[in-house]
Amino acid sequence: MALFKKNNSQTPKVKSQAAIIAAQLRSSIIEETTEFNAQTEAQAQNKGKKPSRRSKNAAAPEKVGSALPVNQSKSKNPNDLAPPEVTTPAQEHQLDEVPKRSGIYNFNDPMTEKQDDRVEGDTNNEDASSNVDSGLFESQATSRSEIGNHFARETQSSPEVESGRDNGPITDISAKKPHHLVGLSDNDIVAMYQTMLEARLLDQKMWNLNRSGRAPFAISSQGHEATHVGIAAAIEVGIDWILPYYRDLGLLLGLGVRDKDILLSLLAKAPDQMSGGRQMPNHWSVKERNIVTGSSPVATQLPHATGIALGIQIDHGDSVVFTTFGDGGASKGDFHESLNFASIHKLPIVFICENNGYAISVPLESESAVADIATRGIGYNIFSEIVDGNDPIAVYDAVRKARIRAASGNGPSLIEAKTYRFLSHASDDDDRTYRSSQEVADAKANDPLISFGNYLYNHGLMTESLEKEMVEATREAIELALAAAESSNDPDPSTISDHVFAKPIRFDQPASPNQVIADPSAKTVNYIESIRNTLGELLEEFDEAIIMGEDVGTRGGVFKATEGLITKFGQDRVIDTPIAESGLVGFGIGLAVYGKKPIVEIQFGDFIHSAFDQILSEAARICYRSNGSYNVPMVIRAPFGAGVHGGLYHSQSIEAFYAHIPGIKVVVASTPENAAGLLRSALEDPDPVLFLEHKKAYRMIKGAEAASGHRFPIGRAEIVRKGRDLSIIAYGLMRHYCLAVAEELSGMASIEVVDLLTISPLDRATIIDSAKRCAKVLVVHEDNREFGVGAEVVATIMEGAFLDLDGPVERLAPDHFPIAPFAHSLEGASLITPERIKERVLKMLSD
């Protein structure tokens, strides 16, 4: 629920605000108590039943107050878009006409707990970290007014409003204040402080749970709270998209995520809406609030955010994408590839670096050649700004203006919020090994929670009694949330394979022999023409289909697979990209998450490996790690294979690498007809599909053009030629070589040819059936023999047809060397040819 409602009357008195806060918090506690009691009773009644994998209590998205007033959202005034180096009170009055915002927070379940609770059940705790707070305001050596307030330059006290903790009730606080000048109401400011308080106390509780052995792992966000609430206040929840990183607890709370949901994730419980217990804590995912699932590798979310922003731009939408990351992530290639692409296309995205000075233990001067991460944006022609991350109003104002720029079509922004991490990187880290206690103490002297609290006191928005009410109610509510989380079920082990795929595929019955009779009136096309025609047909039929890749536009692709498509469908549907495979796949993932159907072309399969992390850690894991909340309907097209004199880096076969990854489907089309059918099935599939096309087959293999709308099922092999004496199992170009050998030897033996077509998931039923019927099996592929696809096929046969065999299953594949060295003599020696296949078949038939 939203704590603060819109109030069109004069600014309320402090006494009234205290009553509002107390009443709302008590109401929240009553709701949580009722929910907890009902849950406990239901668990008692259903004892022994299969536990639920999804929370029935997930908070519905709640529309919050507009982050940008309507008359500001389309502003192109340069004064709105350029950040002043130093804002003076006189300059701030230029924004007097900005309407107030109200009700911007969904405020839930806060808690407080002294940090020394960490010693419960842990007698060795003092060795765990030297920088753990002993209490909420441990760094407050004296009273608030003696600490020093970094907001002092903005405070303009009136005779009726004096700074300090002991002023008592304030009766007149109607004068203009700096937060009003950026569109924040008094209620907003108090809510921001409450969220900071909630984030600090919840973080301390999570850390304590780890130190007392009740939570296996914890990541602290203490010190980042001001940055978080400033960002959250500028976001339109449920409209904008957010791709956070793991140190964003306060941001999640500011966006309306409940403490209970945070604790369910911490404890890896079944109702955990983030991942259902599949991910470590702080790996956020809340689909109904457009908070996109994240992973552990840093900065991998930046290309996803960029892809989502591209989708919004293509749709002419009003949403803006926000993505956060640490200073360590700014060293990753995904950071640079994302900023470059976002700037090229002027995408509606805001990149926010939460610079706390350390990449785990590595200080900024050892990880970055520049002292300010924001300066890197200048090289990409991106509006870049440095902001005090301990000042939530300054952060809000910077992010608010960045949102105006993005929503107005003025492109991306890079905001660097300078902040500090008070505790170790994570619960398994000991920060005493790389920074001094004095350094941490100096940082805590500027604790944003204290300084922002001072701001509220100085402006008559906080009193001792109000703060006490907040702390007490927060403590009670969070303890209730913790009790509910701890009593929730653990994930059911039987669900471990759920959501690996959005659409699992398995055929229990073998395929029937191919009995398709070609239409004599059908046009004859080669393989590449079939691909091109099918791509055009899919773009025509699916408005959400988008082709992306290097040289796919005016050039039409290096193999002409996309020739003419940009002329017909435009640059929003056929997009040329920089040479940046990791970013390219990541952009595709973002488009898919947004709701598009991206077809990403990798120029040569050999070049795909720089995108391995995006394919393995992201595309293939998103459905699983989000417990089915998100999926990635994306096709990655890549030419592969040797025989075109391409040398070591234009000739490799890559299928075995990617077939090993759970969560991605790997397809190898072999004819014009099945290429058309499989490509359509791949686009319609809700999972990522790696679609491999043999480059030598592009113009060598011809056949009848597939009928419009033709589909061939993913996961199904094809019996190309039925036989009884020997089964040859192959795929890609090898299908045609093996078929030619079978036809040539048809007078002496009945040879069956099976084309796998899909490498993962493998059509095991058809493989086993063919082996049983023929009793002898040869597996042929042009990828290296060691740990190749053939090994999996052989293992499948030995497990399912061993007793039916007349001899060992054999493999024909190149030995363990890089395929296709450039010299003709070396290239020829590395390739599997029809002659080599014939020689092995004759040997097997004679044994």
Instruction: Please give the positions annotated as active site.
Output: 581, 650
Distance CA 56, CA 392 (A): 34
What Rg do the C-alpha atoms of the chain give, in angstroms?
Answer: 31
Q: Write a three-state SS string for 38-64.
A: HHHHHHHHCCCCCCCCCCCCCCCCCCC
Strand duo 665-669 + 758-760: pairing? antiparallel
Within the chain, what is the greatest distance between any pair of CA atoms? 109
Q: Given CA atoms 160, 165, 171, 175 in this order, what sign does their dihedral have?
A: positive
Return all residues near 237 (Cβ < 8 A) that are at least 6 apart: 61, 62, 63, 64, 106, 255, 256, 289, 290
Show the tokens assigned to 415.
């905001």
**DSSP character for 515?**
-
Helix (H) or strand (E) holding 779: strand 777-780
Distance CA 227, CA 230 (A): 5
8 A C-beta contact, residue 354 and residue 247: yes
Distance CA 677, CA 667 (A): 11
Return all residues near 123 (Cβ < 8 A) that are at least 6 apart: none
Distance CA 144, CA 755 (A): 76
Helix (H) or strand (E) holding 452: helix 448-458
Show the tokens assigned to 222.
């203490």
Helix axes 186-211, 392-407, angle to 10 degrees: 110
Residue with tokens 């003599």: 825
**Alpha helices by DSSP H, 609-671:** 612-613, 622-625, 655-659
Expressed in angstroms, the distance from the first to the final Cα of the chain is 77
Distance CA 599, CA 692 (A): 13
The DSSP code sequence of 717-737 is -EEEE--SSEEEEE-THHHHH
**DSSP character for 617?**
I
Show the tokens assigned to 506.
């398995």
Distance CA 524, CA 539 (A): 22
Q: Burial of 570 by CB count in 10 Å (0-12 exposed, 13-18 middle, 19+ buried)?
A: exposed
8 A C-beta contact, residue 606 and residue 654: yes
Residue with tokens 């619960």: 427
Distance CA 397, CA 402 (A): 9
8 A C-beta contact, residue 616 and residue 663: no
8 A C-beta contact, residue 557 and residue 549: yes
**Alpha helices by DSSP H, 278-384:** 301-314, 333-345, 364-367, 375-378
User: Which residues are 702's β-sheet partners?
Assistant: 526
8 A C-beta contact, residue 81 and residue 404: yes
8 A C-beta contact, residue 248 and residue 329: no
User: Which residues are 574's β-sheet partners?
Assistant: 547
8 A C-beta contact, residue 697 and residue 668: no
Please choose, from the candidates 685, 682, 258, the residue with its C-alpha nearest in 3D space to the C-alpha of residue 504.
685
Helix (H) or strand (E) holding 414: strand 413-418
Provide φ and ψ at 708, rounded to 5°. -60, 135
